[in-house]
Structure 1
Amino acid sequence: MRMFSKLTLALALAGVAIAAPAVAHPKLVSATPAADASVKATTRIVLVFSEKLMAPLSGATLIMTGMPGMQNHPDMKMSGVTAKVGADGKSLELVSAKPLPAGSYRIDWHVVGGDTHRITGQHRFNVG
């Protein structure tokens, strides 16, 4: 009986070890522009994640958090910006109808991967 218990425990632990990668959450692995980078006016931002995303449940909002010469600039959601999952399935692409004006920006993103858990985060960069 004792041998059966050790074998059962070993099989259960092996099952957990094999299943562990399947329950991993998507992680932000790179971005263009990079975190806290300063870039020239751009119309495209790309966030790349560690796994495929569920397009209908993933998205982002672009917020202007500061403008040169304007103290205490309130956070302002940028209009004319679309967010969608890229053709590779692992990237979230934000496209602006016009080049972004000089200022500081924050992207509030949310993604859902294969484990169906919603993961949220932020990414900041500057234009100027």
Structure 2
Amino acid sequence: MKYLDIEQLKTNLSLGKTVEQWLGHKHEEDYTVLKWLSIKKERNAEFNVAYIESFDEGSDDFIDIYEFSTLDPDELLGVINTFSTKDEALDFSVNEYGASMGKFVSQGMIQEEYALYLNL
């Protein structure tokens, strides 16, 4: 997996490119919950951190994590927190959700992280 180094991470965010991170999963009695987050720069130059929990509805042939149902149907885009700077958004991601500065990927690569989880 190609993770972004800190300079790439901050450059991508400054340029308005979304970054994402796989945060793992948890097994419940009847289902598995996938956890991940994304950080996106908005048009007003603020940064949104979206924390997503979705049902594991994938398979070897279907790894499009964006299409999975969210745990809370009222939060289709996840739990969103907004920050004035990219550094505040990154710090929040690390402190609130346990993200790692060395494990962010470019948008779209979260599906590859899911495939690794499935051991494909």
TM-score past 0.5 threshold: no
TM-score by length of 2: 0.30
**Which protein is bigger by CA-based radius of gyration?**
1
Bigger helix fraction: 2
